[in-house]
Amino acid sequence: MTKPNFEAMTREELRSYILKHREDDEALAALLSRRDPNAPGYSNDLSSEEMTEILKRKIAGEI
């Protein structure tokens, strides 16, 4: 059985494939390697406290 071409799949097609083939680590890695163009960027020079606050706000749905 041949593997599908993950690079040719849309994000939604790949997500659907992964939900049906949960053991396929290669497919999951392909999905995780794709960055959402609408994702906010965060500076990596934030302190642990600042990052914790951002994560709490994100989880609460504020950002």
CA 60/CA 44 separation, integer angstroms:
22
- Number of domains, the chain: 1
Q: Quick check: is 1 in a domain?
A: no
First to last CA, the chain: 43
Q: Quick check: is 19 in a domain?
A: yes
Identify the domain containing residue 41 by its residue range.
6-59
Q: Quick check: is 29 in a domain?
A: yes
- The structure's pTM equals 0.56
Q: Give the pLDDT confidence of 2-61 residue by residue, as tens digits.
A: 889 999 999 999 999 999 999 999 999 999 998 877 888 777 888 999 989 999 999 999
